[in-house]
């Protein structure tokens, strides 16, 4: 079993299709309220509300967060563990333009998250060559052009950051077991 990055949701496999199917089923009713998003992401409600207030996430509609908003929250949550928040937002803006406006997204956050899951599902280690190869395989169906280039570079940064969070967690486990 695996855990979807940025959540506490267990899955059998880390693939684009599995992530899409699972998130589609979670959002079948049309959205999640703040307490549900907070519970799944383990982000405090006031933190999520602050991100909305600061324009990092578009405001919920009728107090419900969409799949896109949820995925943006997930990205911010795990990326901020290894990057400064201004760099996280710059990375998100690289692929999605104005962060509080979904209409200018090159790749919406839900699709980006599914490609991200496909990428990390293909990783065997977090070296540069492995990340590059996993990204190329994950976006093989995308076609060519400007957007694919941005998608590829964004996924490279996100997969590397994810690797850093995994290695940071391993380091903490190891050092906690030592008599320091």
Q: How confident is the model at residue 33 (pLDDT cuts 50, 70, 90)?
A: very high
- The structural domains of the chain, with segments of one domain joined by +, span 2-177
Instruction: Determine the average pLDDT of the residues in 23-36.
Output: 94
- 10-11 and 2-3 as β-strands: parallel, antiparallel, unpaired? antiparallel
Of the two residues 127 and 153, the one the predictor is more confident about is 153
The tens digit of pLDDT for each residue in 63-117 reads 999 999 999 999 999 899 899 999 999 999 898 887 777 777 888 899 999 999 9
Q: Are the beta carbons of 134 and 123 closer than 8 angstroms?
A: yes
pLDDT at residue 98 in the model: 79
pLDDT at residue 101 in the model: 74
Question: What average pLDDT does the chain have?
Answer: 91
Of the two residues 34 and 128, the one the predictor is more confident about is 34
Instruction: Determine the average pLDDT of the residues in 23-39.
Output: 95
What distance in Å separates the CA atoms of residue 22 and residue 29, rounded to the nearest whole number? 13
Instruction: Determine the average pLDDT of the residues in 30-52.
Output: 96
Q: Are the beta carbons of 138 and 122 closer than 8 angstroms?
A: yes
pLDDT at residue 100 in the model: 75
Instruction: Determine the average pLDDT of the residues in 144-171.
Output: 90
Q: Are the beta carbons of 8 and 40 closer than 8 angstroms?
A: yes
Q: How far apart are the first and last CA of the chain?
A: 32
pLDDT at residue 147 in the model: 85
């Amino acid at each position: 079993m695996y855990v979807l990055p940025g959540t506490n949701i267990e899955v059998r496999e880390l693939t684009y299709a599995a992530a899409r199917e699972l998130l589609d089923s979670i959002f079948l009713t049309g959205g999640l309220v703040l307490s549900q998003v907070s519970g799944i992401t383990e982000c405090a409600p006031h933190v999520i509300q602050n991100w909305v207030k600061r324009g990092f996430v578009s405001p919920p509609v009728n107090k419900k967060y969409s799949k896109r908003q949820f995925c943006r929250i997930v990205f911010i949550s795990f990326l901020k563990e290894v990057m400064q928040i201004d760099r996280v937002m710059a990375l998100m803006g690289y692929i999605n333009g104005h962060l509080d406006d979904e209409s200018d997204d090159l790749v919406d956050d839900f699709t980006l998250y599914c490609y991200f899951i496909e990428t990390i599902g293909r990783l065997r280690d977090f070296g540069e060559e492995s990340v590059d190869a996993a990204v190329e395989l994950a976006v093989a169906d995308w076609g060519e052009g400007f957007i694919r280039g941005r998608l590829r570079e964004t996924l490279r940064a996100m997969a590397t950051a994810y690797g850093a969070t995994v290695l940071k967690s391993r380091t903490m486990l190891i050092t906690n077991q030592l008599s320091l």
